[in-house]
Amino acid sequence: MARPRRKLGIILLAITLVLGLLPGASNAASIKWDKIDPALRALMDQNPDGTYSIIVEGATPAAQRANLHSNIQRAGRAAESILTKKGRPLATLGIIGGVAAAASYSTVASLSRDPFVAYIHYDAPVRATADPIDKANVWEQVVKATDAWDLGYTGKGVGVAVLDSGISSATDLTRPNNRVIARANLVGDSPTTLDPGGHGTHVAGIIAGDGYSAPADARSTYSGVAPDANLIDVRVLGSDGTTSLSTVIRGVQWTIQNRNLYNIRVMNLSLGAVVPSNYTYATDPLVAALDIAWLSGIVVVAAAGNSGPTAGTINTPGTGPMLITVGALDDNMTSKTGDDGVATFSSRGPTPDGYAKPDLIAPGRRIISLRAPGSYLDRLLPDRIMTTTVGSTYFRLSGTSMSTPIVAGTAALLIQKNPSLKPDQVKFILADTSRHLEQKDDANIVGAGVLDAHAAVNSNITGRANLNKRPADGFARAILPLLKGQPLTWRDTSYAGRTWTNITWDNITWDNITWDNILWDNITWDNITWDNITWDNITWDNITWDNITWDNDARDNNERDKDARDRNTRKNNDRSNRQHTVQSDSFTGPGVTID
């Protein structure tokens, strides 16, 4: 009887093998589109033979096996997967357990099937959000910064990280004392100047310039919001104002790792990328990294973008619900408030996830600040150079890039007054004390209103922003090793058919369903020891690229044939989603928009 059973088994095996050869028959061989960023899918549709810039996020281990090295182990596994699938790893993003890489269609497809890969992001271009134009400087009076100084708050001792194109050694930042206390270059080039772009210096001056080189009777006109704050120069933008998501993420990681050394309490991001209509912040790796920064104690202030006046145009990372997103006010070159309005270019909400943004607005047109002589913007816009009566020069720009540091500087004033403030408290105070804008009360245009620095530092209100807001998926994956063992509470004890009252760290499943149901507000983040996590011990210099064979892999050729069939099937069956292709074009626009 054994022989017939064996024959039947052989027949069944043969049938299985034949079926497995049919197009689309094997689920294991199918591309896992749900693990691929919609923007990346659009590029793959547009250019199947291209090479794509990607970020590969490693899958989390079971919660029971998570440890303080889990994130770097995830990054290591992701790098190994990229290599074996003929991709090219470029940089470790240990903060989110990922790797930046270059990859072909077949490599992305193969990675999507890898159980050790959680998600494959498009490493989208990011650009500065400046919009050059002309005229005068009255913004200090509009936001009442001078009144805040009169109360004794100048940002002294507070570190503000500026993730931008660099910061020059401008006199207004280095005299009488040098307040640029640290520098890091994540771009990877070797510029001949500290700020080859000019954008970062202008932003830094709005935060912490002291007007030292201006005429003595006009120094307050040329000062930043927090003229005694310390600046940390984290260069993530190239000279032309462009970069990639992965480079910015590396800058965020460096900032978190060095926050205690330089007392970094505020992070300024005057940059952004336009998002497609099918975007969600939950899968945005930059938002995930910034969620970590926020909950580690750093107030993150991001530009809304210059894509207005159309609704639904907030840029990433300003789409992150937790962060402070800043739009631009047009003060019409007067200190009066009755003629104020929202700058036409200022991006509007809601975000694709339905959140009202920006959170508030601040002056963003005709902002005079520091000049970086010989920089990209300096050469591009010589008519924006302004010369004072004593011969010193400044520079004039507009954009939400300029609005953002006004808010970042005000956050430094608040933290100087009360160093124990948490980011959620800072956000609450800034919003609650903002000024109502005449003619405008739409939260998707003005947020809570116009920044009022004096009201903010003069207030004794208490409260907490961001209640009931869920962090990004990448945050949840990365935080597992540090959160493990903490008590968790649930929104709904019967959510998604699970019996949550019986769930412990010994049997928890760390997935989207769990993240949706966690009451994140109830977690005591002060109990988290952020510095215990290992993020960056992969040394890329140890990889011998010459030993890698990038082509002529028979298994890869078979997968490539299967992927081509899958691609054609998807194109025929998914025509309704072609908006991915249209929207992805917005990622490749120019770095600076001239108004």
Mind giving me the DSSP string for 278-307? T--GGG-HHHHHHHHHHHTT-EEEEE--S-
From CA 402, how far away is CA 204, in angstroms rounded? 10
DSSP-derived 3-state class of residue 410: helix
CA dihedral 79, 85, 90, 95 (to 10 degrees): -30
pLDDT at 338: 73
The C-alpha angle with vertex 52 and arms to 51 and 54, in degrees rounded to 5, equals 145
Structure tokens belonging to residue 50: 């291209």
Phi and psi at 60, nearest 5°, equal -80, 150
- Catalytic: which of 110, 239, 346, 401? 401
What is the rounded (10 degree) CA torsion for 582, 584, 589, 595? Answer: 70
User: What's the average model confidence in pLDDT over 100-114?
Assistant: 95
Q: Is the pLDDT of residue 581 over 80?
A: no
Of all residues in the chain, what percent carry a pLDDT higher than 90?
68
Residues 42 and 578 sit within 8 Å (Cβ to Cβ)? no
- Assess whether pLDDT exceeds 70 at residue 508: yes
Q: How confident is the model at residue 14 (pLDDT cuts 50, 70, 90)?
A: very low
Strand 324-330, strand 242-244: pairing: unpaired
The pLDDT value given to residue 7: 40
Q: What is d(CA 401, CA 282) in angstroms, rounded to the nearest whole number?
A: 24
> CATH 3.40.50.200 occupies which residues in the chain?
127-180+192-457
Residue 589 has pLDDT above 90, yes or no: no
* Catalytic-role residue among 45, 164, 233, 291: 164
pLDDT digits (tens, 9 = 90+) for 431-489: 999 998 876 779 999 999 999 999 999 999 999 999 999 999 999 999 999 899 889 99
Three-class DSSP category at 328:
strand
What pLDDT does 584 receive? Answer: 21
Q: What is the pLDDT of residues 370-386, one digit of tens each?
A: 999 999 999 999 999 99
Q: Percent of the chain beyond pLDDT 70?
A: 82
Q: Of residues 121, 199, 454, 580, which has the active-site annotation? A: 199
Class of domain 127-180+192-457: alpha beta
Torsion sign across C-alpha atoms 588, 590, 592, 595: negative
The predicted model gives 50-55 an average pLDDT of 96
Q: Taking the alpha carbons of 229, 427, 202, 124 in that order, is the dihedral positive or negative?
A: positive
Whole-angstrom Cα distance, residue 204 to residue 129?
Answer: 14
Mean pLDDT (whole number) for 398-410: 96
Q: What pLDDT shows up at residue 437?
A: 86
Does the pLDDT value for residue 568 go beyond 60? no
User: In the predicted model, is pLDDT for residue 204 greater than 60?
Assistant: yes
- Of 92-106, 121-135, 534-548, give the range with the top mean pLDDT: 92-106
- The closest alpha carbon to 202, from 43, 403, 63, belongs to 403
User: Token digits for 124?
Assistant: 């989208």
Residue with tokens 């939950």: 282
Upper half-sphere CA count for residue 60 (Cβ side, 13 Å): 24
Confidence band, pLDDT 50/70/90 cuts, at residue 396: very high
pLDDT digits (tens, 9 = 90+) for 60-88: 988 888 888 888 899 999 999 999 999 99
Q: What is the mean pLDDT of residues 231-243?
A: 93
Contact between residue 387 and residue 263 where contact means Cβ atoms under 8 Å apart: no
CB 252 within 8 A of CB 290: yes
pLDDT at residue number 439: 63
> What pLDDT score does 25 carry?
34
- Res 570: pLDDT: 47
* 151-185 tens-digit pLDDT: 999 999 999 999 999 999 999 999 999 999 999 99
Inform me whether the pLDDT recorded for 254 exceeds 90.
yes
- pLDDT, averaged across the chain: 84
Say what the pLDDT of residue 63 is: 86
3-state secondary structure 37-80: CHHHHHHHHHCCCCEEEEEEEECCCCHHHCCCCHHHHHHHHHHH
Instruction: Give the per-residue pLDDT at 255.
Output: 96
Q: Please give the pLDDT value at position 269.
A: 97
Q: DSSP letter for 450, please.
A: B
Is residue 401 annotated as a catalytic residue, yes or no?
Answer: yes
**pLDDT recorded at residue 334:** 74
